[in-house]
Amino acid sequence: MAAFEYVALNDRGKEQNGVLEADSLRQVRQILRDRGLAPLSVEVAKEKNTTSSKIDFSNWFKPSLSVSERALITRQLATLIGAGLPVEEALLAVSRQSESPRAHKMLVAIRSHVMEGYSLANSFAKFPSAFPGLYRATVAAGESAGHLDLVLNRLADFTENQHLARSRIQQALVYPVILFVLTVAILAGLLGYVVPDIVEVFADTRQELPALTRIIISMSDFVAAYGLAVLVLIIAVVFAWRRVLLIPAVKLNYDRRLLHLPIVAKLSRGINTSQFSSTLAILSSSGVPLVDALRIAGEVLSNSWLKQKVAEATVNVSEGSTLNAALDHSGYFPPMMLQMIASGESSGELDSMLQKVAAYMQQDVEMLMGVLLSLFGPLMLIIMGGAVFTIVMAILLPIINLNQLVV
């Protein structure tokens, strides 16, 4: 069977489109007529808008899945395959269960590819944005070992934990971000609109204004005259810096410096080593050889300097070095992580020890993030209060001096 995309008219004259599986175009048209639809066009999904006989999914505009969608699909596949259903039937059931049209089309195309004789991992490779290299390598290992349901369950656990950790950080950032935006908006409003109106009151008095008032007036004039230009400049600088970081040499040097900054270094190392340990654990426990697992896990790292160090460690392991010694040689991995890996290698329980390392590093990062975010809120309140108090004092001082002159 192949996947076909169709456009048809219903009994009310409205267009409907979707994807069906059938043996031929004629069968698709017959299915549509049986449903009371008048087919307008039917095309093979995998060959749409292409002149090549090879399978080309580029016209799907590189569809992707959110972390939660991928976790749900993985969990459903693991449950169905564990219940004894063939892979193609499990894919069909999950595609029908999916509420997302994008995910439905993707799963139908993957099922079509599986029914042509390709492995599930190779079928997932047609959608690299939705199923990354780690995911595909783990599925391939599960297929070769004959434990696909167990591997998919591990992948679902990993994806769900990743989504949960990201959600926690995003929820914790809501309050500080709101405070920061309010602080900037209040200060801009006071300096841009309130202070200029108050200054007009003192314009005709010709008295010498206090130094604090003159400073606030200068800041107000600057915000009123150049505030928008400064905002545009900041946005331009941020955009330019992001473009500059696309240069490999600049990115490498920037990431190396991050690993030596106070607090930032601990956060960066914690996040990266947690991701690395989780990925390495799931690959190793799924039967992927350690050297291949190291190579794949290294690609998960967001810090390019650490990624380079892991690549060097991979070479050392392939030459006979232990994992602990290879990572220790880089000098950037936490001692606790190295000790636990050494213990796992000596006891033959490296997989479980890597999972413990990942859990420990994730907990450490979450604790540090919690402390920083709990301090950020009060700090923004202090800054907001101090700034407002300074502006109010700058306005009141001339009034007090004027009253003294009148007396």
Q: What is the pLDDT of residues 62-99, one digit of tens each?
A: 567 888 888 888 889 888 988 888 888 888 888 888 88
The residues pairing with 8 across neighbouring beta strands, listed in sequence order, are 16, 39
Domain check: are 112 and 206 in the same one? Answer: no
What is the residue-averaged pLDDT of the chain? 80
Q: What's the pLDDT score for residue 53? A: 37
Least confident of 11-15, 362-366, 383-387: 11-15
How many structural domains are present in the chain?
3
- The mean per-residue pLDDT over the stretch 235-247 comes to 91
Q: Are 229 and 223 in contact (CB under 8 A)?
A: no
Digit-coded pLDDT (tens) for 260-270? 888 888 888 88
Domain check: are 8 and 123 in the same one? Answer: no
Domain check: are 40 and 71 in the same one? Answer: no
In a domain, 209, yes or no: yes
- The mean per-residue pLDDT over the stretch 208-214 comes to 79
Q: What's the pLDDT score for residue 62? A: 57
Out of 56, 83, 101, pick the residue that ends a domain: 56
**What CATH number is associated with residue 24?**
3.10.20.730
pLDDT band for 232, please (50, 70, 90 cuts). Answer: very high
The residues pairing with 18 across neighbouring beta strands, listed in sequence order, are 6
Domain check: are 82 and 221 in the same one? Answer: no
Domain check: are 293 and 388 in the same one? Answer: yes
CA distance 198 to 7: 66
Residue 34's domain comprises: 2-56
In a domain, 136, yes or no: no
pLDDT band for 56, please (50, 70, 90 cuts). Answer: very low
Q: Are 124 and 14 in contact (CB under 8 A)?
A: no
In a domain, 380, yes or no: yes
The pTM for the full model equals: 0.62
pLDDT above 50: residue 109: yes
| Other beta carbons less than 10 A from residue 234's beta carbon | 10
In a domain, 248, yes or no: yes
pLDDT above 50: residue 59: no
Q: Are 173 and 371 in contact (CB under 8 A)?
A: no
The one-letter code for the residue type at 206 is R
Most confidently modeled of 18-32, 45-59, 190-204, 240-254? 240-254
Q: Are 323 and 317 in contact (CB under 8 A)?
A: yes
pLDDT above 80: residue 120: yes
